[in-house]
Structure 1
Amino acid sequence: MGRRTLVAVTRPDGRYDCRIAHWGVDADPIAQSRPLGNDWTASAVLAAIDATHDRLVVLDGSVRTYTVCWLDPTLSDLDDIVLARTADPDAFRTWWVGRKDEACRALDSNGCDPTTVRCALLASLRNHASSVHCPDDASFLRGDR
């Protein structure tokens, strides 16, 4: 299974050169990705991400990895995401996929309200990740917050 990853390389002027990797990135995000576009704003970077992405990697002197977490339990709104930062993105992704599967099963089998399930997912996520960022706030791209 692919691990679609958006790589945002910070430029000195505060804009971003973006790259895409369909099989994820590890040690060398530049070598493992291909160019997608230059001179993007922070808002444009975040607007490019939806639930079809697995991760966002930001290169700004360091490498910061954010997991894309799809909150919509009805699996219909690809833009209903948040970005989560943890010390171990692989372990976190495994946990998140399991948690999301549980939530979707609860919605299907118990007839739970989708809004309630989504809120529970977000609360669980905030308790498990070191930071959680909504895609309408690009401020975290300018430094780890």
Structure 2
Amino acid sequence: MGRRTLVAVARADGRYDCRYAHWGVDADPVAQSRPLGGDWTGAAVLDALDATYERLVVRDEAVRTYAVCWLDPGLSDFDDVALARSDDLEALRDWWVDRREAAVRAVDAGRPPERVRTDLLAALRKRAAAVNLPDDASFLRGGR
């Protein structure tokens, strides 16, 4: 199974050159990915992300990696994602998959999807070092 990763390389003009990796990236996200195109805004980077991606890697003065966490417990809205940072991204991802599966089961058992989603996002905010929703691209400009 692939580990779809969007790589956003910051440019001096505040825009991004974006790249794609199907099997994820390790030490060198640029060398391990292929070009998607340049001149993307921060909002365009986030608009490109959906639940089919596993990670977002932002390369500016440093390399920051975010887990793409699908929030929709109804499993129908692919754009309903949050981006989470952690010192241990693998552990966060494993924890997240378990939490999301429990959320899906809760909806199947009759809990209101909106409430389950709210609880899921709250749990993610407690677990991750930072959580960003894709309606605000400001976190791309800085080390958060």
Fold conserved between structures, TM > 0.5: yes
Point out where structure 2 has 5 or more consecutive residues left out of the alignment: none
Match of 2:25 in 1: 25
Q: Which amino acid aligns with 1:36?
A: L
1:101 & 1:27 partners in 2: Cα distance?
30
Matches within 5 A, 1:24-63: 24-63=24-63
Match of 2:120 in 1: 121
Match of 1:136 in 2: 135
Shift in Å, 1:28:
1.0
Match of 1:69 in 2: 69
1:75 & 1:130 partners in 2: Cα distance?
25
Q: Which runs of 4+ in 1 moved over 3 A?
A: none
User: Alpha-carbon deviations, 1:117-137, whole Å to 9, x = none?
Assistant: 000100000000011101010
Identity of aligned residues (%): 68
1:33 & 1:91 partners in 2: Cα distance?
24
1:144 & 1:118 partners in 2: Cα distance?
27
Q: Which amino acid aligns with 2:102?
A: E
Match of 1:4 in 2: 4
* SS across alignment from 1:57: strand
Point out where structure 1 has 5 or more consecutive residues left out of the alignment: none
2:138 & 2:60 partners in 1: Cα distance?
14
1:80 & 1:94 partners in 2: Cα distance?
19
Cα RMSD of the aligned pairs, angstroms, is 0.7
* SS across alignment from 1:52: coil
Shift in Å, 1:77:
0.3
1:17 & 1:89 partners in 2: Cα distance?
24
Shift in Å, 1:37:
0.8
User: Alpha-carbon deviations, 1:1-47, whole Å to 9, x = none?
Assistant: 11100000000111100000011001110111000010111111111
* SS across alignment from 1:14: coil
Query: Aligned residue pairs: how many?
Result: 144
Shift in Å, 1:87:
0.7
1:92 & 1:31 partners in 2: Cα distance?
25
